[in-house]
Amino acid sequence: MSTTQQIRVGADIGGTFTDVALDLHGTLYSTKVLTNYTAPEQAILDGMQVVTEQAGIGFADIDILIHGTTLATNALIERRGAKTALVTTEGFRDVIEMRTENRFEQYDLNLVLPTPLIPRKHRFAVAGRLDASGAELLPLDEARLQALAGQIAAEGFEAVAIGFIHSYQNAVHEERAREILTAKLPGVPISISAEVSPQMREFERFNTVCANAYVRPQMQDYLTRLQSRLKEQDAQCPVFMIHSGGGLISVETAIEFPVRLVESGPAGGAIFAADVAARFGLDKVVSYDMGGTTAKICLIEDFTPQTARTFEVARTTRFCKGSGMPISIPVIEMIEIGAGGGSIAWVDAMGRIQTGPESAASEPGPACYQRGGDRPAITDADVVLGKIDPDNFAGGAIALSKPAAEQAIAKDVGDKLSLTPLEAAYGICEVVDENMANAARVHAVEHGKNVSENVMIAFGGAAPLHAARLCEKLGVDQCLVPQGAGVGSAIGFLKAPFGYESLASRLVGLSDFDVDGVNAMLADLRETAEKFVRAGTDAPIKRDITAFMRYRGQGWEIPVSLPDRVLTQADIALIRDGFTANYARFFGRSIDGLDGLEIEIVTWSIKASDEVAKQTPISVQTAGTTICAPHMRDVFDPAKGALVPSGIVSRANLKPGDMVPGPAIIVEDETSTIVTSPFDAVIQSEGSILLTRKGV
Amino acid sequence: MAGLDEIRMQVMWNRLISVVEEQALTLLRTAFSTSVREAGDLSAGVFSPDGLMLAQAVTGTPGHVNTMAEAVLHFLAEIPREEMYEGDCYVTNDPWKGTGHLHDITMVAPSFKDGQLVAFFACTAHVVDIGGRGFGADGKSVYEEGILIPIMKFAERGVVNRDLINILRNNVRESNQVVGDFYSLAACNEVGHRRLIDMMVETEMADLDALGTFIFDRSRAATLERIAALPVGAWDNDMTVDGYDTPIKLVAKLTVRDDEVNADFTGTDGASKWGINCPLIYSKAYACYAIKCVVAPDIPNNSASLAPFTVTSPENILNAKRPAPVSLRHVMGHMVPDLVLGALAKALPGQIIAEGAAALWNIHISVRPQDGVQGRRAEVLMFNSGGTGARPALDGLAATAFPSGVHTMPIEATEQTGPIIVWRKELRPDSGGAGRLRGGLGQVIEIAAAQGHEFDFSAMFDRVNHPARGRDGGQQGAAGVVELDDGTKLRPKGWQHIPAGRKLVLKAPGGGGFGPASERSEDAIQADRAAGYVTGKPT
């Protein structure tokens, strides 16, 4: 059965809300319910109740449930995982504590480094050693492991992580250690680093296997409970989990490798944007998701979000790089900055306005909520600038106070800089928009791209309020605000392919390229990746094969696509050309005139996924029938630097082909889309709003 | 609206910092040298046409805080304006005009907009080799330490100076990587230039004059306000460190005036005949860094925010003159913060971090097959850190670089670069100085050559004979140890041999404690025991 004929349900458990979306042969139903921390599955069932009633179907009619959750991420952030033992190579007990031996803030003498996930007394060293090629230097101390098994049982550990040096080259010691421990520890889940994250770099790999073990008992309980509750309720459908790389895996795989669920919610958002991109046939897109605390930006090329092989979770200090813990698994790559509707504005020692990363969150909330917050948040600035109508917020459900917003802005920003509240509010929005623009620009440059060539897709509660100004700053000419943006991740889940990326670290120089060895390794990777995909679908599988390459001596690799076939000697020249072309694209010029400078491949990746049926793209409509706004309100226009009368239009009253000239605001219950003076808005045939730059 | 100009300037300042951050990231990603790409030993910044630093990337190391700023002035003095063209890029590694030793290459490029000079971009990075005796203390003068490139053009109108590349290629080991790094440096300035011009076009700026004035006024005022909050007076401190073959006494006098903080090194021992001497520019960088950490940690680096911090010294080991050997100038340079902070602790009692391991425990290894055995030759560089001093309200950081801003590299990557085996790299129990707050632990490292190989290594270790002292009654950290696995003691500096089958054992020093040990809380004592940070066994 093709995915369009299936009845699919997507469920995204977030920190505040659990979003549920149902796709009934192309018609979407969605709802938001509060996340239930003690029984997360209950919120899903409640949400399913709502959407199935809306759709007029029963639980038994559902063909597939696709689920993503922040539960694993939260367990890591809040340190609410299992009592876990780490078994590691003798001499390397402190790898996860010593980290990179670096201070992530150069000028902070009172720096506090993140505490290791597993405390030192729970880390046990065992003799046995492999060398960098995977050959054994010292046999595994099996007697010590036998004794250790007894100790781990006696001390009541609930999970075990095994991480040995160079296991990414050869898993034999880790596998043997698991065998010995399993025999004496029935029921205790054991994770080994060679399976969880077979990548070079011991700190990242050990930390990843520890994180996997740490959340495993909890995720196993939860997912097992979810499945049995669904069965009780007559939902016999299979459950698949969205993983951080944006594909689907079976519940059984998720139970074994729960670390792969980290960041699955944001991944859903990126898939949502990728689907919008595919719908319109847009091959260069930047997605922009702004909520209450953070903004996330992701590059999407050829309808596929950018991916990475490692990322950092649970940052402890102001989203500082290095203040969290590294997780090396395939992940949809996005930059996240502390800029959301609740981010607090303040003034630094130089009299510069700063925003975030501290957030007013939902309690006490921005000052305009009048729930005890007296510090100015981005939302307060949006109210003062006229971007949000205080009497009509969330469909009138929450009355906002503009005077309270003005007062907070005056107290913490305006008075300190001799600015009026209006000027100060403008300053706050300019700074937060500039920060987001800078982050997007740097992120694009890191990937050798130019962000101004992209179309923006904006979603999340706060993004449509800031998207137009962000486009002005980035030189982006078009921005789509799709429907259903408030539950974007859950809708994104419905579009996710069955997909899995397998990775291996194996250093291969182009001058001594062992074609047979590489082909054998790639065949292994292919088998692993396809096994996971086959667990969910019989559809044809497509594969993307990538080599991560560098000049020998460099430390940063760039991706180069490899042909999907058995490689021959003749392909080496092809790979070399692919590398030099990509290098020049990333860094301006490739290095010429260096005889014998070796080019090498460090990591190999195979991404397997089922072929998603190609949609016939609809084209973006940039012209339409100008409609006359029923109301006008003064709204601050940043390009003009002044309050200007702006049309106020309800999104519900607009139909495809309508054109709303800027400056204007298109309001809906969840958010408002600001159309600044350089832009017009055109309603697309499927309901999205297109912001398009005048005269382009 | 009157406030709009203010806001516009603020936004442009942010943008300029983002431009130099992009510049630094480009260098980080394209560099060959391990000390750049793994350890972040680099710096990048943008300057006004008269050579004043407008903004510096946060990415980078304190050793270049203002060395690069002064270097740019030397370039301006030697290359006449009428000989500067679009597409030019200038270079030097002169220790006294660049950043203190030959391994650091500084490149400066003019940025033109519509034919008008609007800015300079500069960057600095440490390359893998510069010829001569290699990275070590054994040169008797700078002439033995490698090739010196006087200020000259690396590229004119976009065309690279092939003669320079040719001379370089024939004078350094690992020539491909070194030449590759020259290209990386040039590329990073080019990225900065392109982004600056984008910004100026977009915001319709003809020049950076108004923005520069805004940045300097704000930074100067904020810095002076912080200095005004300090007590006025003069305080001194001295500290003895290992040196090469004889101990070296470092002396600092810190004078706080209304609008200036001066560190003066009068009384410090004279230059060494070994390559551990420090040109003043580098001593100054670390002195300013230490003071800025305490006084103005949140104020961005630029010419105005750095100007009130001054450093003076007669000729001595912290102000070594040409042609003194300076290859390992970082060992003395890394001691400067502890020296200066010791004086500041007298001005601000109870508020300043205790002494720590300070100098990195870097090691350069030359590994080769034993006679008659098939094998591999390789040069391997490792960065390792001891413990930092305890802070007034926090224990010291274990195995963490301070004052240097570097990272260590993974053992799995190190073992890929050459036939060595790292048998141990873990925390060193009982090495943190006792106190109300405990000093950070050092670490133990054991290294052997792979089967059939042997190695030489360049030792550049300090605090072996002079451990980090505690503050306010805190005890000293454990001293460093350099030995063979059979207990044979080795020298803390200079090239030495490790025979096949033996292991080199390094025990990096711990940080000093803060406050009397008798005042440590019972909870903290229990936690130290449980983790094994403190074993109670005699050390």
Nearest CB to A101 within list B7, B293, B400: B400
Q: Which token pair is B485? A: 């696995």
Tell me which residue of B178, B7, B198 sits closest to B111, measured CA to CA: B198
Most confident of A495-504, A585-594, B404-413, B483-492: B483-492
Rounded CA separation A613/A9 (Å): 19
- Record: contact B531-A121, CB cut-off 8 A: yes
Q: Which residue has the tokens 């309720």?
A: A233
Contact call for residues A624 and A657 (beta carbons, < 8 A): yes
Q: Do A86 and A206 belong to one domain?
A: yes
DSSP state of B294: H
Rounded CA separation B439/B520 (Å): 12
Tell me which residue of A405, A383, A288, A293 sits closest to A339, measured CA to CA: A293
- Cβ-Cβ contacts under 8 Å, A507 against chain B: 416
pLDDT of residue A647: 95
For A196-201, what is the mean pLDDT? Answer: 90
Q: Which token pair is B1? A: 């609206």
Residues linked to residue A347 through DSSP beta bridges, in sequence order: A353
Nearest CB to B293 within list A101, A107, A351: A107
pLDDT of residue B177: 82
SS3 content of chain B, % helix, strand, coil (to 5): 30, 25, 45
CA-angle at B510, arms to B507 and B514, nearest 5°? 170
Q: Which token pair is A498? A: 């069955």
Q: Do A172 and A45 belong to one domain?
A: no
User: Where residue A255 sits, what CATH number does that domain have?
Assistant: 3.30.420.40
Q: Is residue A320 part of a domain?
A: no
Average pLDDT taken over every residue of chain A? 89
Q: Which token pair is B433? A: 């100085």
Q: Do A207 and A248 belong to one domain?
A: no
Rounded CA separation B184/B176 (Å): 12
Contact call for residues A166 and A135 (beta carbons, < 8 A): no
Q: Which of the listed residues A610, A637, A663 is the one where a domain comes to its end?
A: A610
Q: Is residue A302 part of a domain?
A: no
pLDDT, tens digit, for every residue of A546-581?
999 988 767 678 889 999 999 999 899 999 988 888
pLDDT of residue A595: 58
Residues 6+ away with beta carbon under 8 Å from A42: A36, A229
Residues 6+ away with beta carbon under 8 Å from A48: A9, A11, A20, A22, A59, A62, A235
Angle between helices B67-78 and B280-295 (to 10 degrees): 140
Q: Which of the listed residues A385, A414, A431 is the one where a domain comes to its end?
A: A431
From B129's Cα to the closest Cα of chain A, the distance in A is: 13
- Record: contact A132-B165, CB cut-off 8 A: no
Confidence of residue A397 (pLDDT cuts 50, 70, 90): confident
Domain that holds residue A677: 629-693
- Record: contact B410-A201, CB cut-off 8 A: yes
Q: Is residue A368 part of a domain?
A: yes
For A194-204, what is the mean pLDDT? Answer: 92
For A618-633, what is the mean pLDDT? Answer: 92
Confidence of residue A613 (pLDDT cuts 50, 70, 90): low
- Record: contact B402-A103, CB cut-off 8 A: yes
Rounded CA separation B247/B236 (Å): 20
Interface check A587 vs B, CB under 8 A: yes
Tell me: pLDDT of A2 over 50: no
- Cβ-Cβ contacts under 8 Å, B428 against chain A: none
What one-letter code names the amino acid at A580? T
Dihedral, CA atoms, A372, A375, A379, A381, nearest 10 degrees?
Answer: 130
DSSP state of A189: -
Give exposure, A322-359, as e/b (b: 16+ Cβ within 10 Å): bbbbbbbbbbbbbbbbbbbbbbbbbbebbebbbbbbbb
Tell me which residue of B506, B30, B241 sits closest to A448, measured CA to CA: B30
From A261's Cα to the closest Cα of chain B, the distance in A is: 26
What one-letter code names the amino acid at A285? V
Q: Do A511 and A603 belong to one domain?
A: yes
For chain B, the straight-line distance linking the first and the last C-alpha, in angstroms and rounded, comes to 69
Q: Is residue A594 part of a domain?
A: yes
Contact call for residues A28 and A496 (beta carbons, < 8 A): no
Q: Do A354 and A423 belong to one domain?
A: yes
What one-letter code names the amino acid at A376? P
Q: Do A115 and A25 belong to one domain?
A: no
How far lies B172's CA from each of A398, A516, B147, B151, in Å? 70, 37, 8, 19
Q: Is residue A653 part of a domain?
A: yes
Contact call for residues B476 and B463 (beta carbons, < 8 A): no
Please give the distance of CA B502 from its chain centroid, rounded to a whole number.
Answer: 32
Q: Classify strands B89-92 and B152-156 as parallel, antiparallel or unpaired.
A: antiparallel
Low-confidence ranges of chain B (pLDDT < 50): none
Tell me: pLDDT of A594 over 60: no
For A652-679, what is the mean pLDDT? Answer: 93
pLDDT of residue B135: 86
pLDDT of residue B63: 72
The pair phi, psi for residue A353, each rounded to 5°, is -70, 135
Residues 6+ away with beta carbon under 8 Å from A153: A184, A185, A188
Interface check A597 vs B, CB under 8 A: yes
Most confident of A199-208, A316-325, A438-447: A199-208
Interface check A695 vs B, CB under 8 A: no
Angle between helices B3-30 and A421-446 (to 10 degrees): 20
- Record: contact B179-A201, CB cut-off 8 A: no
Q: Which token pair is A336? A: 């996240």
Contact call for residues A642 and A625 (beta carbons, < 8 A): no
Half-sphere exposure of B185 (CA within 13 A, CB side): 32
Residue in A86, A90, A106, A583 to test binding to B, most B beta-carbons within 10 Å: A106
> Quick one: which H or E segment has residue B19?
helix B3-30
Nearest-CA residue of chain A relative to B158?
A: A589
Nearest CB to B530 within list A112, A121, A165: A121
Rounded CA separation B524/B318 (Å): 39
Rounded CA separation A245/A609 (Å): 11
Tell me: pLDDT of A448 over 80: no
Rounded CA separation A166/B413 (Å): 10
For chain A, the straight-line distance linking the first and the last C-alpha, in angstroms and rounded, comes to 43
User: Where residue A116 sits, what CATH number does that domain have?
Assistant: 3.40.50
Nearest CB to A551 within list B180, B401, B533: B180
Q: Do A87 and A208 belong to one domain?
A: yes
Please give the distance of CA B94 from its chain centroid, rounded to a whole number.
Answer: 17
Q: Which of the listed residues A216, A251, A270 is the one where a domain comes to its end?
A: A216
pLDDT, tens digit, for every residue of A215-271?
999 999 999 999 999 999 999 898 999 999 888 888 998 999 999 999 888 888 898
- Record: contact B298-A349, CB cut-off 8 A: yes
Per residue, the 3-state secondary structure of B86-115, as one string, reads CCCEEEECCCCCCCCCCCEEEEEEEEEECC
Q: Classify strands A239-242 and A541-551 as parallel, antiparallel or unpaired.
A: unpaired
Q: Is residue A307 part of a domain?
A: no
pLDDT, tens digit, for every residue of A365-388?
899 989 888 999 999 999 999 999
Rounded CA separation A204/A199 (Å): 8
Instruction: Kindly tell me the number of DSSP H helices and DSSP E strands found in chain A.
Output: 17, 36
- Record: contact B412-A349, CB cut-off 8 A: no
Contact call for residues A9 and A20 (beta carbons, < 8 A): yes
Rounded CA separation A192/A98 (Å): 21
Tell me which residue of B102, B129, B124 sits closest to B40, measured CA to CA: B124
Q: Is residue A190 part of a domain?
A: yes
pLDDT, tens digit, for every residue of B94-128?
999 999 999 999 999 999 999 999 999 999 998 88
Tell me which residue of B402, B398, B399, B389 sits closest to B439, measured CA to CA: B389
How many folded domains does chain A comprise?
A: 5
pLDDT, tens digit, for every residue of B291-304?
999 999 989 999 99
- Record: contact A427-B6, CB cut-off 8 A: yes
**Selected residue with higher pLDDT from A669 and A412:** A412
Rounded CA separation B515/B410 (Å): 35
Q: Do A210 and A96 belong to one domain?
A: yes
Q: Dihedral sign, CA of A560, A566, A569, A571?
A: negative
Could you give the percent of chain A with pLDDT greater than 90? 56
> Quick one: which H or E segment has residue B445?
strand B442-449
pLDDT of residue B189: 93
Q: Which residue has the tokens 């948040």?
A: A377
Q: Is residue A107 part of a domain?
A: yes
Confidence of residue A596 (pLDDT cuts 50, 70, 90): low
Q: Do A637 and A685 belong to one domain?
A: yes
pLDDT of residue B136: 87
pLDDT of residue B469: 98
Residues linked to residue A250 through DSSP beta bridges, in sequence order: A240
Could you give the percent of chain B with pLDDT greater than 90? 77
pLDDT of residue B65: 66
Tell me: pLDDT of A589 over 90: no
Q: Do A247 and A209 belong to one domain?
A: no
- Cβ-Cβ contacts under 8 Å, B300 against chain A: 350
pLDDT of residue A1: 42
- Cβ-Cβ contacts under 8 Å, B296 against chain A: 349
- Mark which residues 64-83 of A lie under 8 Å from B by CB: none
Please give the distance of CA B141 from its chain centroid, rounded to a whole number.
Answer: 22
Q: Is A330 left (phi over 0), alpha (psi -120 to 50) or beta?
A: beta
Q: Do A350 and A371 belong to one domain?
A: yes
Tell me: pLDDT of A648 over 50: yes
Q: Which token pair is B530? A: 């449980």
For A288-315, what is the mean pLDDT? Answer: 87
Q: Which SS3 state, helix, strand or coil, does residue A538 take?
A: coil
Tell me: pLDDT of A593 over 60: no
The pair phi, psi for residue B121, each rounded to 5°, is -110, 140
Rounded CA separation B327/B100 (Å): 8
**Selected residue with higher pLDDT from B503 and A399:** B503
Lowest mean pLDDT among A653-662, A668-677, B242-251: A668-677
Residues 6+ away with beta carbon under 8 Å from A576: A510, A599
Q: Do A212 and A235 belong to one domain?
A: no
Tell me: pLDDT of A107 over 70: yes
